[in-house]
Amino acid sequence: MALTTWWLERDGLLPAASSIVAAAVETKPAPGNGELLHQQVPMRRWCVTRDDLVHLRHLVLCAVQRGRIQPTDWDSFDPRDTEIGPNIHSVTAQYLKPVTATAGGMSWALMLHPAGLECDVFITHSWAEGIFEFIDKVVNSWPAGARHAYCCMLSNPQNLDITRLVSSPLESPFACALRSASHVIAVPNETHSIYSR
């Protein structure tokens, strides 16, 4: 069975296929078992493309407009705002985790690219920033010639035991991706300094 937008529509995570947003999720083979996939694909290959980020922006915008991602006591974002948007915590809890759980529990990156993509950009950021702010800054700062980026919220399997993955810092996904990357993007935000965390 192919991983198409039908399951996003079925679970209320995406509007009907006639929407332009539906085209943002390409037809991919269903990866299935997220835990097994993350054991088989080297950590340095848990990456997304620049286009993946652009598509994610459209998907999140649609999810906010449909009420799938809503303000909370911890994140009182304005649903009409298309510049900052909900923070990474909200997007992960209300969108990324449910979508990837439906696909089999893998990361967003391996859901889109089950064989993985070699890392050449490492992205560091604060989860407190708005998703639109984050994506716009990364897309506009993307290094020339770079193809694939490791970004923890999209690269790490949010539905699996991440504490096990980071228990040995030198062997963690962060360290493996950083060793592979030729570029690093440190994403500032409107909320607070990423260096104060």
Residue 25: closest CA among 64, 59, 48 = 59
- Position 4 scores a pLDDT of 39
Phi, psi (5° rounding) for residue 11?
A: -90, 10
Sign of the CA dihedral 17, 20, 25, 28?
A: positive
Q: Distance between CA atoms of 38 and 100, rounded to whole angstroms?
A: 13
Pairwise pLDDT comparison (15 vs 126), residue with the higher score: 126
- Position 193 scores a pLDDT of 66
DSSP 182: S
Q: Could you tell me the two tokens for 194?
A: 């990423």
pLDDT in tens, 59-111: 999 999 999 999 999 999 999 999 999 999 999 999 999 999 999 999 999 99
Helical H segments across 6-103, by residue range:
6-10, 34-40, 50-65, 88-91, 97-103
Pairwise pLDDT comparison (105 vs 19), residue with the higher score: 105
- Position 153 scores a pLDDT of 96
Residues ≥6 apart with Cβ < 8 Å to 1:
30
- Position 191 scores a pLDDT of 74
Q: Distance between CA atoms of 118 and 62, rounded to whole angstroms?
A: 29
Q: Give 19's pLDDT tier (boundaries 50, 70, 90).
A: very low
Task: Judge whether 88 and 158 are in contact, CB under 8 Å.
Answer: no
pLDDT in tens, 145-179: 999 999 999 999 999 998 888 888 888 999 999 99
Residue 129: closest CA among 68, 186, 172 = 186
pLDDT in tens, 117-140: 999 999 999 888 999 999 999 999
